[in-house]
Amino acid sequence: MLNYTLRRLLISVPTLLIISLAIFLLLELAPGDPMAQVPLTVPPEVKQKMREALGLGEPVPVRYWKWLVQFFWIEPLNMIDNIFGTAFAAGEQRVLSWQTRSPVMDLVLQRMPQTLWVVGMSYIVGVAIALPIGIYSAYKQYSVFDQAGTFVSMIGYSVPPFFSGVLVIVIFSVQLGWFPSIYDTTHRVVDWDTFVVQLQQMVMPVMVLALQTTAQISRFMRASMLDNLNQDYVRTARAKGMTEQVVVMKHVLRNSMIPVVTVIALGVPGIFGGAIITEQVFKVNGIGQLLITAIQANDLPLVQTLTFIFAVLIVAFNLIADILYGILDPRIRYD
């Protein structure tokens, strides 16, 4: 197991390097210009100077190397400095966003809470709703509940969030006035009332996103349960005189959860990147919104760092999924 983990870790290093290079080269091809937002009145010479100030003058390999050093060495040092108050990275050039001229990592950290609150919560809610639906649908296969569950989850999958999002805003914000249509990222939860406010502003984005998560996970859970319900060991458990509850919720569920848990783990990175549209609709200015503004503003360092962070998350959660699989399933022996 340890060996396996180490091996996977080792493999992920070249994987990540290749990904970072691929992203870098891809962005290198970008026809856009970071000066696009600068008004037409700014003279070209000034624009040229501004471009150079962004480091655009240097050759590609140099910039790539610089970025690697900044990302893998200076940023971690900075993190340490922040936590322990040391000064390892003092004076080192960090990865700077072209658009805001501030360190990219600061931006990312700033956006993290919203994303975690809303998108993370929606994932949790989605999974929490999905599992019972999946379990019950499988147990009562082809029942009315199963059919309805299938239908609802298909709907959840089929309706694009930018449609459902606007729809719920019009209904719940405009018509009924229950929830705010604009998410307040500066809101701090300090007491019960502020907590209620936080809940109110989270309800709609969380539900819209959770609908999609629920759709996917419940289908998966159902399939996994169905696979296991036909297994011989279920018959054994029944033959032992176990109650249906024990049979389903203990014997079958435990086995069915193995693939589902890994799927859930694999879905986590999607939290950070996949909610771009929902964040846009509800103005939850999280990581996804950061990325889309960066793309629109041709903020290449930010785009690159963000996409790369997504890649790191994906690789990391792949690893976690594999390890979870090993932990949950005693049959798996990695060596």
Is 314 one of the binding residues for other proteins (CB under 8 A)?
yes
* Minimum distance from residue 304 beta carbon to other proteins (Å): 9
| Contact flags string 225-264 toward other proteins, x per CB under 8 A | -----xxxx-xxxxxxxxx--x----x--xx--x------
| Site stretch for other proteins (CB under 8 A), options 60-68, 76-84, 130-138, 270-278 | 270-278
| Site stretch for other proteins (CB under 8 A), options 36-44, 68-76, 82-90, 202-210 | 36-44
Look up residue 37 and give its DSSP letter.
G
- Residues 59-118 binding other proteins (CB under 8 A) are 96-97, 99-103, 106-107, 110-111
Is 198 one of the binding residues for other proteins (CB under 8 A)?
no
Q: Are 94 and 103 in contact (CB under 8 A)?
A: yes
State the amino acid at position 308 in one-letter form. Answer: F
Look up residue 72 and give its DSSP letter.
I
DSSP readout, 8-21?
Answer: HHHHHHHHHHHHHH
Look up residue 35 and give its DSSP letter.
G
Nearer to other proteins, 131 or 281 (CB): 281
State the amino acid at position 324 in one-letter form. Answer: L
**Site residue total, other proteins (CB under 8 A):** 121
* Minimum distance from residue 80 beta carbon to other proteins (Å): 19
**Single residue of 74, 303, 321, 323 touching other proteins by CB under 8 A:** 303
Look up residue 241 and give its DSSP letter.
T
Is 22 one of the binding residues for other proteins (CB under 8 A)?
yes
- Dmax over CA atoms of the chain, in Å, equals 85
Angle separating helix axes 2-28 and 300-328, nearest 10 degrees? 160
Which tokens is 13 given?
């290093």
- Residues 151-190 binding other proteins (CB under 8 A) are 151, 154-155, 157-160, 162-163, 166-167, 169-170, 173-174, 177, 180-182, 184-186
**Single residue of 13, 21, 49, 60 touching other proteins by CB under 8 A:** 49
Burial class (CB in 10 A: 0-12, 13-18, 19+), 105: buried
